[in-house]
Amino acid sequence: MFALAAASMGYRVIAYTDEPDSPVSSVCASTYHGSFDDTNRLKLFAKEAQVVTIEFENIPVEALRVVEEFTHVRPGAMVLHTAQNRLREKTFLSANGYPVVPFKAVNSFEGIQIEQFGIPAVLKSVGFGYDGKGQRVIEAAVETEQAWVSLGEAEAILEKFVPFEKEVSVIGARSPAGEFAAYGPIENQHKNHILDVSIVPGQISDALANEAIALTRSLMDALDVIGLLCVEFFVMQDEKLLMNELAPRPHNSGHYSMEGCPTSQFEQLVRAICGLPLGTTSNHSCAAMVNLMGDLWEHGEPDWAAALAVPHVYLHLYGKRTARPGRKMGHLTACCRTVDEAVTRAKKARELLSRTRA
């Protein structure tokens, strides 16, 4: 989606991917296929590009450091270094006074003091943290060892399980000149720890919305992010915000912006990294986005025509070859006058996808 946005603005996009059959190849000018530790290939790629960005945060930082020697990398390797490791991320946030869930670093099973924050607690591996990957909720002390073993007995953090009211995200954009724009707060509902529905505008007070945006702006300045930064927040009962996770790239919760805003998050990323003025992020209308997971393919090809017959609904498919349960394959967005109408239409369209064909 980034490649398509950049191409529509006249840029020639070159991708670097370690996937043999990546969907990006069908929508960009050329593809470098190679591993992220192939220094020579990375150098060739870097020399061809005027600016490089990322769409996935679990790329080895060393690969970005190689590329950074030859061209602009936005956001830079330092941002990735902080955001791709839950312990570094939370340590940075708490050391700089940002509100986070109480946490503790854990290096061994014996080091897990399960009663420290009370039960339930959450054990999270420090790496590969997205879509609930690498985390276990511990409901009783006896489950601790199993959780530790299932996360590979590797460096982790123990976190308090917080009974939040809502989850919201803000996607900030920042240019090399320090210009800032924000999408959201977007209200996010998860299913099995994976984003299921995003709603705009998020149903929170103006004061809280402004605070979430101000925190995002301050954090982007502090980390010197050029590009996008998604900040996921827990909204607590006492109207307090806690930061849960950072993603320095276009975010699933911002997909609504493709039809819902004058400038989509993808075009915004192009503008930010190319040093262009940032675009308008206000909503044309209310919007709801629902994810399409691989589970929808369980009984064969979903009924696209049925979903597309719902007015004000837009379909995006990512071109992934294999549908697996839990894999994000695409999304639907409904743009309507009210949030309720948008949610109803988006969910209705998704239901129609899996109806039994006559």
Q: List residues binding ligand AMP (CB under 6 A).
A: 101, 122, 129-130, 132, 135, 159-162, 167, 190, 193, 232, 244-245
Whether the CB-CB separation of 257 and 281 falls below 8 Å is answered with: yes
CB of 157 to ligand AMP, least distance (A): 10
CB of 346 to ligand AMP, least distance (A): 20
Per the omega criterion (within 30 degrees of 0), is the bond before 185 cis? yes
Name which of 172 and 279 has its Cβ closer to ligand AMP.
172
Among 124, 128, 112, smallest CA distance to 57 is for 128
Name which of 120 and 201 has its Cβ closer to ligand AMP.
120
CB of 247 to ligand AMP, least distance (A): 9
CB of 268 to ligand AMP, least distance (A): 22
CB of 135 to ligand AMP, least distance (A): 6
Among 155, 73, 69, smallest CA distance to 109 is for 155
Name which of 147 and 335 has its Cβ closer to ligand AMP.
147
CB of 190 to ligand AMP, least distance (A): 5
Q: How many CA atoms lie within 13 A of 75 on its CB side?
A: 32
- End-to-end, the C-alpha distance of the chain in Å comes to 34
Name which of 161 and 180 has its Cβ closer to ligand AMP.
161
Determine the Cα angle at 12 with ends 14 and 248, to 5°: 60
Name which of 123 and 258 has its Cβ closer to ligand AMP.
123
Residue type, 345: R
Name which of 246 and 349 has its Cβ closer to ligand AMP.
246
Show Cβ contacts of residue 15 under 8 Å, excluding neighbours closer than 6 positions. Answer: 3, 22, 24, 25, 28, 30, 31, 32
